[in-house]
Structure 1
Amino acid sequence: MNLFKRFALITRKITPIFQNKRTFRLLYHLQNKTHDDNILNEDSEYLTFSENYLNVKQGKNCYIIQPYIKWGPQKLQGITPEEQLGEAKALIDTLSSWGVEETISIPLESVDKKTLFKSGSLEKLRHNIRRHGNVNAVFINLGTLKKAQIINLEKEFGVPILDRYKVVMHILKQHASTKHAKLQVALAELYYLQRTVFNEMNVGKVEREKLKMMFQNREQKLKNAIKDLRAERALLRSKRQKIEYPIVAVVGYTNAGKTSLIKALTGEERLKPRNQLFATLDVTMHEGLLPSGLKVLYVDTVGFISDIPTDLIECFVATLEDAILADVILHVEDISSSCFEFKRKHVLRTLQDLSKKSGSDDILNKVISVGNKCDLVAKDLDFGILKISSKTDIGVDVLRMNLEQTILAGTNRRKLKIRVPAGSDAIRWLYKNATVVAEVADTKDTQFVLAEVIITHAKLEKFKHDFAP
């Protein structure tokens, strides 16, 4: 029985319970279990090749180099070399069994030189690296290095050269836990191998064709599996829409505190935020209540990070569709970061790019930005956004109220009072199909009650049809 027939059969069985919490647990379970687990472990020849090429199981003692352009059009605006170096160190610290031996920033005139650095800088770096006897890798914190640069620098330093793409790939492989995340990471890894192997390895024509065929077969399998999961996600979204819970997608630069904020908003104790980059790689959903009692689903998403090649981001488009199609997008910013403006622009630009790729309209008009970690900055600083702290709960109640106002305006919901007979089918229908904020006896006629409700336009029309005279 194929995937969609199985899904349809299960769906028919669970249709009567779509109005309660068990639905979401079941849907999330289906999302991660209905797919064939063998796809990731197939192609033993490819798996052996990638493991040997990427050397994923061996820990690294890294010497980190942060190149930076001092002036000119290639100079990166909004972030200092010191801040970039701090992020590079955080990337390495995220990897288990990896460590940082030493860090250094080196000025450049251009990133296009074959050896990247001038002769004087090369001599200094060579001396520093060889002085550390246990350095077995050099991490140059640039998005992607060219073939000639990697070859020349490995000759100079005598150890493997890592760029930002390769380090992030290692992190993604370690952190991927759900089926969808693993598939997307596997595709990102394949793109990396396709881009680098033929440039860095001297192989004959026969071996080149063999590798090319191996990569193509693997790519087709992964894309088909992701396509199936994408279709499955669309089915799951349609089921959630029937339940009519508002969706709030929580996005932000990696390690901005998205998961911590969701925990503060929902009180969900099982959430365990981690002080790591890319701690979340797949969307997870968490139910919470707004001040009126309206139920809402918070969607935790993969964190964004700058200077990552496009094909790596595109691997996560299917996952981020849940965020792009949400009713509200909650952008969490770490205002304790000295380069939060740079990170803000990067996240908003990435959201726009993803919405275009998925065929959605401009989504920035449904973004609410909040400044997290306000307990770590001076109280008198004004960032132009609501300041909150997911750690101390500062501003969290105000955020809930703002979310409720935005959701009511953006999801065609109305807050109104309806007079219905006490204990009637009408009041029971309202409790089942709307959010009843309050119910009080009608002082003019105690056989009736006044129900204050939040209800969608479609449900209100249904109520009028079934119960209004």
Structure 2
Amino acid sequence: MTEHARPVTRAWVIHPEIPSADTDRDPALALEEAVALAHALPDLEVVGAQVARLRKPDAGKLFGKGKLEELRLAIEGAEVDLVLVDGPVTPVQQRNLEKAWDVKVLDRTGLILEIFSDRAATREGVLQVEMAALSYQRTRLVRAWTHLERQRGGLGFVGGPGETQIEADRRAIDEQLVRLRRQLEKVVKTRTLHRAARAKVPFPIVALVGYTNAGKSTLFNRLTGAEVMAKDMLFATLDPTMRRIKLPGGGPEVILSDTVGFISDLPTELVASFRATLEEVLAADLICHVRDISHPETAAQAEDVTTILNSLGVKDTTPQIEIWNKIDRLDDDARAATLTTAARLDHVQALSAISGEGIDGLIDAITTALADVTHVTTLHLGFNEGRRRAWLFEKDLVEAETQTEDGFDLTLRWSARQEAQFKDL
């Protein structure tokens, strides 16, 4: 065992099923996703998982007396160290459950924060996780305040050097948030400069988005040859990864961006903190929405992704391709039906990022979509506008040019982004 390794924590996952008009999701599938979330932390061993039906949540302990005792016996029998409740748990409920079961309790937000903390690789990612953790921490009146002592990733909710409960000093948290926000602003400013530098070499940006574990990173690796971590694991990618690639078959040069996976009920703290991580999507000329078409709730997952894209302010005018990934996981009949449906829909490409089947069709679709992004304009420049004319030639935007008595008539093919850059010269 390395000196930084943390001991394995035995975990029990509970998905509280609360009858609600808001959701018609299958509780068994919700539990499956919660277990997959738990598996995303290397230090957790899931020793049990169950759906717990509730007529209505108990304000103090979430579960009623009978259910609480039934769960206590199961948890005790399995020698569990940590209970993961797949849903929101108030600070009062958390304290009461920890007292009743004599184990650490973590809700869905706390677990996702742990995963994000464990995976964040860039300075920006680390700062965003810490801000999200502090915002979450601020809502807890009494918490295990150990994350500053951690040896490596992880926020100290799971394991960590101690479990002392300390009253969180809200002023200290607010001061820390202000410090982190300043640091993050500097990092974001640097990224803005990088983006401005990229804009000078105006390759179109193609952003891969999708529900977590839809296969974005596998597809990214297939298209770029990059070794981005691509495991069958939720939230395998947390920091946007950018690669400049030349699309095969005479396709254009593009910047391909792999982004963090979306998930239903993403904690509000994280949506706010990770907005900058998803800025690349806002700058994209084309969005490729990757779906795991083999998942029983693929339609609901796609809806979640669309909701988050809308909340980020992605414009309706940004072209999108929907990628139905993992056709290799479908049985013959479902596969044939999926391929037939996809072939009838202009904006859909069905493929397998693992086997490579359908990749050529996707590349053609990206090439066509990016051609649609550009438009032809005629423009007259005077002889005194040599610098602007040189810029157009440097960017390879001029399709034809005629000299006139007072300057040049140019035919240009460019994107709206390039046109805006030209106007700023």
TM over 0.5: yes
Q: Which residue of 1 aligns with 2:9?
A: 60
Q: 1:457: how far off?
A: 6.8
Contact 1:306 1:346 in 2 (8 A): yes
1:231 equivalent among 189, 192, 196? 189
Report runs of 4+ in structure 1 exceeding 4 Å deviation: 198-201, 429-433, 457-461
Contact between 1:246 and 1:411, CA under 8 Å: does it hold in 2? no
> What one-letter code is carried by the residue in structure 2 that aligns with 1:263?
N
The question of whether the paired residues in 2 share the 8 Å contact of 1:62 and 1:101 is answered with yes
* 1:373 correspondence with 2:326: yes
- Residue identity (%): 32
Partner residue, 2:67: 121
Matched, 1:155 2:99: yes
Picking from 348, 351, 363, the partner of 1:400 is 363
Please report how far the alpha carbon of residue 170 of structure 1 lies from its aligned counterpart in structure 2 after TM superposition. 1.1
Q: Tell me, what secondary structure is at the counterpart of 2:304?
A: helix
In the other structure, the counterpart of 1:296 is 254
Aligned mate of 2:36, from 90, 113, 120: 90
Contact 2:374-2:413 at 8 Å conserved across structures: no
Which secondary structure does the structure 2 equivalent of 1:251 belong to?
Answer: strand
* 1:45-92 CA-partner distances (Å, limit 9, x unpaired): xxxxxxxxxxx95542111111112x4425x22x21111111111111
Distance 1:170 1:404 in 2: 39
**Letter in structure 1 aligned against 2:353:** S
Alignment gaps of 5+ in structure 2: 146-165, 343-347, 378-390, 399-411, 420-425
Distance 1:199 1:162, change over 3 A: closer
Partner of 2:118: 174
Q: Identify which of 203, 223, 240 aligns with 1:283.
A: 240
| Pair 1:137 & 2:107 matched | no
Provide Cα deviations, 1:327-349, integer angstroms capped at 9, x if missing partner.
Answer: 01111001111111111000110
Q: In the alignment, does 2:129 pair up with 1:185?
A: yes
Q: Give 1:269 shift.
A: 4.4
State the Cα distance separating 1:217 from its structure 2 match: 1.8
State the partner residue of 2:401.
Answer: none
Query: C-alpha distance in 2, partners of 1:432/1:392?
Result: 39
Q: 1:364 to 1:273 in 2, by over 3 A?
A: farther
Alignment check: 8 A CA contact 2:15 2:52 kept? yes
- Deviation, 1:272, is 3.9
Q: How does 1:343-382 map to 2 (within 5 A)?
A: 343-355=301-313, 362-363=315-316, 365-377=318-330, 378-382=334-338
Aligned residue pair count? 361
How does 1:37-52 map onto structure 2 within 5 Å?
Answer: none
* Structure 1 stretch displaced more, 106-115 or 394-403: 106-115
Measure how far apart 1:435 and its partner are.
9.5
Aligned partners of 1:188, 1:253: CA distance in 2, in Å?
20
Give the distance between the partners of 1:278 and 1:153, measured in 2 at CA. 28
Inter-partner Cα distance in structure 2 for 1:285 and 1:334? 22
Find the counterpart in structure 1 of residue 230 from structure 2. 273
Report SS of the residue matched to 1:262: helix
> Between Structure 1 and Structure 2, which shows a larger proportion of helix residues?
1
Supply the RMSD in Å over aligned alpha carbons. 3.0
SS at match of 2:71: helix
AA in 1 matched with 2:227: R
Secondary structure at 2:46's aligned position in 1? strand
Label 1:221 to 1:363 Cα distance change in 2 as closer, same or farther (>3 A): farther
Structure 2 CA distance for partners of 1:365 and 1:297, relative to 1, 3 Å: closer
Q: 1:458 to 1:284 in 2, by over 3 A?
A: closer
Provide the residue aligned with 1:73 in structure 2.
21
1:395 maps to a residue whose letter is G
Question: What TM-score do the two structures reach when normalised by structure 2?
Answer: 0.78
Query: By how many angstroms is 1:300 displaced?
Result: 0.8
Contact 1:434–1:459, Cα closer than 8 Å, also in 2: no
In 1, the alpha carbon distance for the partners of 2:188 and 2:76 equals 49
Separation of aligned partners in 2, 1:317 and 1:460: 25
CA–CA distance in 2 between the matches of 1:375 and 1:299?
A: 24
Specify the alignment match of 2:290 in structure 1.
Answer: 332
Distance change in 2, residues 1:129/1:459 (3 Å)? closer
Aligned mates of 1:110, 1:365 — CA distance in 2: 42
Residues 457 and 99 from structure 1, CA distance in 2 versus in 1: closer, same or farther, beyond 3 angstroms?
closer
Q: Report how far residue 161 of structure 1 moved.
A: 1.0
Q: Counterpart of 2:278 in 1: which secondary structure?
A: helix
Aligned counterparts of 1:64 and 1:237: Cα–Cα separation in 2: 42
What amino acid maps onto 1:229 in structure 2? V
* Equivalent residues of 2:15, 2:85 under 8 A apart: yes
Retained in 1: the 8 A contact 2:229–2:237? no
Are 2:288 and 2:320, in contact at CA under 8 Å, matched by a contact in 1?
Answer: yes
Contact in 1 for aligned 2:243/2:255 (Cα 8 Å): yes
Give the distance between the partners of 1:435 and 1:276, measured in 2 at CA. Answer: 43
CA shift for structure 1 position 365: 4.5
CA drift of 1:407 comes to 0.9
- What is the CA-CA distance between 1:211 and the residue it aligns to? 1.7
Counterpart of 1:139, as a letter, is: L
1:320 lines up with 2:268 in the alignment: no
Instruction: Report the AA paired with residue 309 of structure 1.
Output: P
**Gap change, CA 1:393 and 1:364, over 3 Å in 2:** farther
C-alpha distance 139-129 of structure 1, shift in aligned 2 (>3 A): same
Matches of 1:57 and 1:165, distance apart in 2 = 21
